[in-house]
Structure 1
Amino acid sequence: MPLVVIQPSYGNPAARRHWKDTLDIPVDFTTDPRADLLTPDQRKQLNEFHPSGAARFWGATSAQDKQMERLSPGDIVLFTGKNHVRGIGEIGVLFRNAPFANSMWSADPKKGSWHNVYSLLSFIPVQIHYQEIWALPGFNTGDNFMGLRILNAEKAATILDGLGIESQVDTEHDRNLHEPVARALRTHTDIVDGEALHTPTTQYALKERELVVHRTEALLLQEYTQSLGIEQPKRLRTPAGITDLHLPSPDGSEVVEAKRDSTRRFVREALAQLLDYASHTPGPATRLTALFPTRPTDQGLALLHRYGIDCVYRTHPLTFERAAAPEKTRTGMMLFWQQGQPG
């Protein structure tokens, strides 16, 4: 799994100038005199990762030398400032080169050159308020993410899942797991065992691509919680994953799973996830709710109701309608939901 870096990058005028110069637009690294400032190896790596001859760049001063040495191609960077994540990128080439850095950014008067340079394989501007991160398990309300920070493995997984970030490393790893099975089935040969499939022996080359950040569910959930008057929504980490919304109540709790579409595929995904979350929900879980941007088909509603799951869907801006499962069915299914529940 890739590392995740919190990178302050927009909080002061100098940072915003850097943003404008090397994140808003790609930088040509092949023309004189900038190309002459690169070592042959640095030039070779940049050409391999960015065959167009241009890339977006960011950097860090010597105060972050040890932190930067931990990073690798494919790691995820959240560029932050003014209470928002303002951009998300995947690291390409990393190197240390003060003259090249100084050709892009003026050295800091106190900290010196931004000589820890890294290119970005992908970059997408976003507007994600810190409140979305604070709602995730393990993060603290009011944390303004001061200073470069590399998240631990648990928090990295939480933020990638919670913000809907699809990393290239994970995508390629999944593909590497699937390909041996598909090849064996096509050729009618033996399928290797699970342990072998999980050994990352297949190599692949990272490449420039459009970064995938799934925001529809988050925006839908924001509007739904706003309609309920919830100022600080909370999510729950379970062994089955992170819930989209957890609403405790005196007699139990409600778990909400949001989906970006209401077609049968997403209805079935919501059903499976809610049933998985339910057995791990403290409280216990007394209501499971699937949230959609539009009303599912009658067949989709019937499928959810068969398992006692409510459906909530958007009808107008800030207006949602609940199609509740029959009370008798929901009550009867609660014992099934709660099997194996903690406590």
Structure 2
Amino acid sequence: MRIVLQPAARSDKDVNRHYLDTIASPVSFADHADLLAPDVRARLEELFPDGSARMWGVVPGKRDVNVSKVRKISAGDFALFSGDKKIYFAGTIALMWRDEKLAERLWGRNHNDQTWEYMYALSGTQGLDITVDEIRELLDWKPNRNIQGIYILDTDDSETLRTYLTLEPSTADTSAAPAPDPQSDAAAACGFDGELERTALRAYRGEQAALKRHLLPGPTGECALCGRVLPATFLIAAHIKKRAVCTDEEKRDFANIAMLACSLGCDSLYERGYVTVTDGGVIEASPLAQDAPALHELVEQLAGRTVPWWSEDREPHFRWHRAHTFKAGTPA
């Protein structure tokens, strides 16, 4: 899975109009049945049973400069929309197709008389609030590098950014990897001769043990999110801000960098961005959880609870989580 950087500055009135028409407001398949090819419509309805999807497109560009780029994109890749010095929106590319007539109906034509005919439908969309400066630093770009023109990150940079933003494939993505092959998996395991435990993990585990002792001095403790009092074995010293991006000073700030979260669901829900803590300490649930009923039921049990763990000193770390990890709704 690779990441596609899609320039779309909403300060441009035309871009904003297109965004409002086909991203903020999903496109109904029935409304455009006269133009949608039967196989495309069938696939869209398979991926989006409610009959609509958020759509975007790419123009061929001068001398078809974008065509070779588009051909590198696959279903399951992530599209990140950028504009006005921020990454503000993301989604999984569920389907790609070419449709000049539909693109012209949806978005018209640009000043070069081209339309955004290389179209894609997005699932699992979410709002983000990441500065381009952060992306430059994370990917070791030059200070003056900007996102101009559609750009596909290589595999390593895609994985770095995907991990940083906790991006996960949408539940609507039915183009998943093939079923596992037990025989090949077993052969791969037997043939692996690398380190099973890296030395670097020892210091990390030592730090985690000390952090948990600080947060949990007794045999039981209270989960910061659900409030259940549980034995120590079911409680995790969960970093409020992703540990991988914490400074050394933040990692050593045991009083503020972490909280107790239970292994009965709360730790995973927070780590993967399905719940977050607002400024003031109230739990907010991700609208993306609605795609999976069982998940939605879990997050709704937490939504609206006041987190006693929240404080002014911890708020900067919760703010980082809201901006970088929480799966927010699509910006209007």
Q: 1:268 Cα deviation (Å)?
A: 7.3
State the structure with bigger RCO (CA 8 A, min sep 6), 1 or 2: 2
CA-to-partner distance for each residue in 1:174-199, whole Å, 9 max, x for gaps?
A: 9966xx88xxxxxxxx996152899x
The CA distance in 1 between the partners of 2:111 and 2:186, in whole Å, is 57
- The aligned amino acid for 2:34 is D
- 2:312 alignment partner in structure 1: 317
Is residue 2:186 matched to residue 1:193? yes
Q: How many residues align?
A: 227
Give SS of 1:267's match: strand
The CA distance in 2 between the partners of 1:118 and 1:293, in whole Å, is 40
- 1:4 alignment partner in structure 2: 3
- The aligned amino acid for 2:68 is K
Choose between structure 1 and 2: higher strand proportion: 1
Aligned equivalent of 2:70, options 68, 71, 86: 68
Which residues of structure 2 form unaligned runs of 5+? Answer: 192-197, 202-222, 226-231, 262-308, 316-332
CA-to-partner distance for each residue in 1:92-132, whole Å, 9 max, x for gaps?
A: 11111110111110111115011001001221122222233
Q: How does 1:184-223 map to 2 (within 5 A)?
A: 193=186, 195=188
Q: 1:133 Cα deviation (Å)?
A: 1.6
Change (3 A) 1:83 1:261: farther
- 1:336 alignment partner in structure 2: none
- 1:211 alignment partner in structure 2: none
Aligned equivalent of 1:164, options 163, 166, 170: 166
The CA distance in 2 between the partners of 1:77 and 1:106, in whole Å, is 22
The CA distance in 2 between the partners of 1:172 and 1:289, in whole Å, is 42
- The aligned amino acid for 1:24 is A
Change (3 A) 1:175 1:294: farther
- 1:98 alignment partner in structure 2: 100
- Alignment check: 8 A CA contact 1:7 1:77 kept: yes
- The aligned amino acid for 2:252 is T
- Alignment check: 8 A CA contact 2:59 2:115 kept: yes
- The aligned amino acid for 1:58 is W
- 1:119 alignment partner in structure 2: 121
Give SS of 1:22's match: helix
- 1:44 alignment partner in structure 2: 42
RMSD over aligned Cα, in angstroms? 4.4
The CA distance in 2 between the partners of 1:100 and 1:121, in whole Å, is 19
- 2:85 alignment partner in structure 1: 83
- Alignment check: 8 A CA contact 2:224 2:259 kept: no
- 1:22 alignment partner in structure 2: 22
Q: 1:167 Cα deviation (Å)?
A: 2.9
- 1:311 alignment partner in structure 2: none
Which residues of structure 1 form unaligned runs of 5+? Answer: 182-189, 199-237, 242-259, 278-284, 298-313, 321-343
- The aligned amino acid for 2:18 is H
Q: 1:162 Cα deviation (Å)?
A: 1.3
- The aligned amino acid for 2:6 is Q
- 2:299 alignment partner in structure 1: none
Change (3 A) 1:27 1:141: same
Change (3 A) 1:197 1:119: farther
The CA distance in 2 between the partners of 1:76 and 1:261, in whole Å, is 32
The CA distance in 2 between the partners of 1:44 and 1:173, in whole Å, is 18
- The aligned amino acid for 1:316 is S
- The aligned amino acid for 1:193 is A
Q: Which of structures 1 and 2 has the bigger CA Rg?
A: 1
Q: Which is worse superposed, 136-145 or 5-14?
A: 136-145
- 2:252 alignment partner in structure 1: 289
- State TM-score, norm by structure 2: 0.56
